Amino acid sequence: MTLRADHIAGAFFIGFGLLVLALSGDLPTGNLSMPGSGFLPKIAAVLTIFFGGVLVLRAGESKPFETLSWTDVKHAGLVVGITAAAVALFERLGFLTTNVLLILTLLVVIERRRLPPAVAYSVGVVVITYVLFVYILKTPLQAGPLGF
Amino acid sequence: MESTFLSLAHGFSVALAPANAWYAFLGCLVGTLVGVLPGIGPLAGISILLPVTFGLNATQAIIMLAGIYYGSQYGGSTTSILMRIPGEASSVMTCIDGYAMAKKGRAGAALCIAAVGSWVGGTFGVLVLTAVAPPLATIAVSFGPPEYTALLVLGLIFLAYMSSSSLIRTLLMACLGLLLGMIGIDNMTGHFRYSFDLAELGDGIGIVPVAVGLFGLGEILSTPSASAVRDIVSPRLRELLPTRREWNEAAMPITRGTVLGFIIGIIPGSAHVISSFLSYAIEKRVSKHPEQFGKGAVAGVAGPETANNAASTGAFVPLLALGIPTSPITAVLIGALMIHGVSVGPMLVNEHPDVFWGFVASMYVGNLMLLVLNLPLVSLFVTVLRIPYAYLYPLIIMFCIIGVYEVNNSIVDVWIMLIMGVVGYALRKFDCDPAPLVLGLVIAPILEQSLRQSLIMSNGNYLIFFSRPISLGLMMVSIGLLALAAYAFVLHRADWRTRLARAEAGEPER
């Protein structure tokens, strides 16, 4: 049997629905005349499992899993990693420093751009954005240890 | 009717106030840019720019955000015609004949016809909205929990039926959205659900981090810069005016697209996408020269572009009259108004007439601004398109982070956005449209509350949904749609969804 995309997707949704049901153990379902807080979540989880099952059963209509293109996964992984690092630093370093570092790293590490134009671009757009938000739109942005 | 005109006149006095007109202009300009730039659609654009409206009052905020929405429909046509890249999903059909016209040296004419068609569609939509929304709101005041439950169930089924991806996938995505929407404190019992002792999750997951993650970051993750190749056809300003023959060819498609788009816009689902596809299909069917479609047929640009703008306006009818979002974009707009302390629903027109009528009037003004803005500034938008994608996406990621963080000053929201970005990337890999997920997330609290209230009212008798005339009617439509969908599903018939997928893939119709 050929493993198809919908086999994987359907199995994931079935697993997710089962996980939600497991996590809903302590939520009262109640009854029809007084539904509890677990009433609708459990219905939605059962429906997720049901539709996931239908997806698996009709997986023959989907593409073979091996034909899915994953050429962009390295780019996506790098972007997620660098953005995650920026999010982790955001409240400590503040808007200006974090975003200059974020844009600079994306340009230099992923896009292989030369350092001088990358520095100029990242500093320029971040400072313009800061001025736009803080001074023109009067929307305060996260400050860093130096107060900006 | 007279009171409607008086109210509309009041709306114009609000919309034409210099500050409000300025924000309408700003919204239209930014919206056009959002539509022009591939990789950032109207949903991500509105969500990211939500914090920009925090310093504004509710009227200015909704005027600006709505300007971004319908401006993006205008802008989407520019990349479709000049680059054969749809700036956003509803412009897919415009790529086919718009780019073919551009290759024949008629890029300017195609842009002009798209802009005029968009203006006609948008303006007609606002006219009908003006007439229909207030009386509909009066009827909706009498809705109780069973009617709202039936309406929301119908909305979900309509969404599944009308969605451009498969029925099962749409329902799956809606279920996922409902589950996400139930995270946090249960309003009726006070139970914490799936919050894992995180105080930030007590209030539930916001629509902004989910929408920005799925549609903003998710799109970036799926688009490596090396694949974002640009081959732009630059129009000359003197070529902007279509010939008399082109105008004649565009007239009827614009008329049909206007009516079709508005009607589809009212129905839940990705209305602007569906309307452009249906308009293209109808134009091809009624054309005396169907062989010209795909080779630069004027009707192939005029019809879809008009329809998607009329649909954008039509989507505001259920939003303003019933307080029910029919698409993720209108859901974000509801969120934006709630941030400003305005509850959307049938009482909006009475409780906040400035917001309601100011918004409606601003759409007349905005549509006119877009017509004036789009044609002379087309060379500016072409210049924006020349910015390398490698420099553009880091900027979009920065705006994603600011946009999400500024809503609640919560870093947990930014982490949710990042997780949703990865989820959005994975969903695209498996051909799952994330839009129903966002809609499910938004309607989950309303659906849950109205369903539970209905069952409590009837002492557990679910026949309550079939014993009241309005809810009975809505439920019958739901059952009818499910039966239709099941028929096509069981018999494996190629319905319009399959044909849309083929058209998007560039495959010939069978």
One domain for residues A101 and A46? no
* A101 and A61 belong to one structural domain: no
Q: State the DSSP H helix or E strand holding residue B193, giving kind and residue range, or none if neither.
A: strand B192-193
Closest among B245, B312, B296 to B94, alpha carbons compared: B296
Mean pLDDT value of segment A134-138:
76
The distance between the two most distant Cα atoms of chain A, rounded to a whole number of Å, is 68
Q: Does B402 touch chain A (CB under 8 A)?
A: yes
Q: Residues A11, A47: one domain?
A: yes
What string of pLDDT tens digits covers the 510 residues of chain B? 667 778 888 888 888 899 889 998 989 888 888 887 766 677 778 887 887 787 788 888 888 888 888 788 777 788 778 777 666 666 777 888 888 888 888 888 888 888 888 888 888 888 888 888 778 777 777 788 999 888 888 878 877 776 656 778 888 999 999 999 999 998 888 888 988 888 888 888 988 888 888 888 888 888 776 555 556 666 665 667 788 888 999 999 999 999 988 888 877 655 666 788 778 888 888 888 888 888 889 999 999 889 888 888 888 888 877 777 777 788 888 888 888 888 877 778 778 888 888 888 888 888 888 888 777 777 777 777 777 888 888 988 998 898 888 888 889 999 999 999 999 999 988 988 887 888 888 888 888 999 999 999 999 888 999 999 989 998 998 898 888 877 776 766 555 556 655 555 555 544
Beta carbons of B418 and A83 less than 8 Å apart: yes
- Domain extent, residue A29, equals 5-67
Asked if the Cβ–Cβ distance from A51 to B172 is below 8 Å, we say yes
CA distance B241 to chain A (A): 37
B493 touches chain A (CB under 8 A): no
From residue B247, alpha-carbon distances to B110, B242, B250, B252 in Å are: 11, 6, 5, 10
| B446 token code pair | 């309303």
Q: Where are the alpha helices (DSSP H) in A25-147?
A: 39-57, 73-105, 115-131
Q: Are residues A118 and A93 part of one domain?
A: yes
Distance from CA of B376 to the nearest CA of A (A): 26
How far apart, in whole angstroms, are the C-alpha atoms of residue B436 and residue B309?
21
Q: Are residues A95 and A123 in the same domain?
A: yes
Q: Which residues of chain A are within 8 Å of residue B418 when distances are taken between CB atoms?
A: 80, 83-84, 87
Q: What's the first-to-final CA gap in chain B, in angstroms? A: 49
Q: What is the CA radius of gyration of chain B?
A: 22
Both A97 and A42 in one domain: the answer is no
Q: Is residue A143 part of a domain?
A: no
The predicted pLDDT at position B510 comes to 47
Say whether B401 and A86 touch across the interface (CB within 8 A): yes
Cα separation, B273 vs B267, whole angstroms: 12
SS3 category, B192: strand
Distance CA B353, CA B358 (A): 8
Whether A112 is covered by a domain: the verdict is yes
Q: What is the pLDDT of residue A8?
A: 94
Residue A127 three-state SS = helix
Q: Please name the amino acid found at residue B187.
A: N
My answer on whether A19 and A54 are in the same domain is yes
Residues A52 and A92 in one domain: no
Residue A147 lies in a domain: no
Domain match, A52 and A104 both = no
What's residue B381's pLDDT? 74
Q: Measure the CA–CA gap between B85 and B352, rounded to whole angstroms.
A: 40
**Are residue A91 and residue A39 in the same domain, yes or no?**
no
In a domain, A14, yes or no: yes
The sign of the dihedral angle between the CA atoms of B214, B220, B224, B228 is positive
The residue behind tokens 């000359």 is: B236
DSSP B420-461: HHHHHHHHHHTT--SHHHHHHHHHHHHHHHHHHHHHHHTTT-
* Residue of B48, B223, B398, B414 to mutate when probing chain A, most A C-beta within 10 A: B398
Asked if B200 contacts B413 with a C-beta cutoff of 8 angstroms, the reply is: yes
- Interchain CB distance below 8 Å, B390 and A28: no
Instruction: Provide the ipTM.
Output: 0.94
Best mutation target, A40, A42, A139, to test chain B (most B CBs within 10 A):
A40
Who among A39, A91, A138 is closest to B452 (CB)? A39
Tokens of B494: 């190629």
Given pLDDT bands bounded at 50, 70 and 90, which one contains residue A46?
very high
Q: What is the pLDDT of residues B493-504, one digit of tens each?
A: 555 556 655 555
Which of B221, B391, B402 lies at the smallest CB-CB distance from A121?
B391
User: Which residues are registered as beta bridge partners of B329?
Assistant: none
Tell whether A146 is covered by a domain: no
**Of B413, B439, B424, whose CA–CA distance to B203 is shortest?**
B413
**B179 in contact with A at a CB cutoff of 8 Å?**
yes
Summarised one tens digit per residue, pLDDT across range A72-95 is 899 999 999 999 999 999 999 999
Q: How far is B390 from chain A (nearest CA, A)?
A: 6
List CB contacts (< 8 A) between A38 and chain B. Answer: 193
Distance, CA of B415 to CA of A114 (rounded, Å): 30
Distance from CA of A53 to the nearest CA of B (A): 10
Instruction: Give yes or no for B432 touching A (CB within 8 A).
Output: yes
CA distance A7 to A64: 9
Among residues 133-152 of chain B, which lie with CB inside 8 Å of chain A?
Answer: none
Which of B144, B75, B170 shows the shortest CA–CA distance to B432?
Answer: B170
**Separation in Å, CA of B117 to nearest CA in chain A:** 34
Give me the torsion for CA of B452, B453, B454, B458, rounded to 10°.
100
Considering the entire predicted model, what is its pTM? 0.80
Among residues A13, A45, A67, the one where a domain terminates is A67
CB B265 within 8 A of CB B132: no
- Indicate the Cα dihedral angle B300, B306, B307, B309, nearest 10°: 140
Structure-block tokens of residue A27: 């939520």
> Are residues A61 and A19 both part of a single domain?
yes
- Residues paired with B193 in a beta bridge: B184
CB contact under 8 A, A16 and B227: no
A56 is a domain residue: yes
What residues in B contact A125, CB-CB < 8 Å?
395, 398
- Residue B456 token pair: 């409590």
pLDDT of B157-176, one tens digit each? 877 776 656 778 888 999 99
* Closest alpha carbon within chain A to B168: A51
Quick one: pLDDT at residue B439?
80
CB B148 within 8 A of CB A7: no
**Residue A142 domain-assigned (yes or no):** no
Structural domain contains residue A106: yes
Same structural domain for residues A58 and A82?
Answer: no
In total, how many domains does chain A have?
A: 2
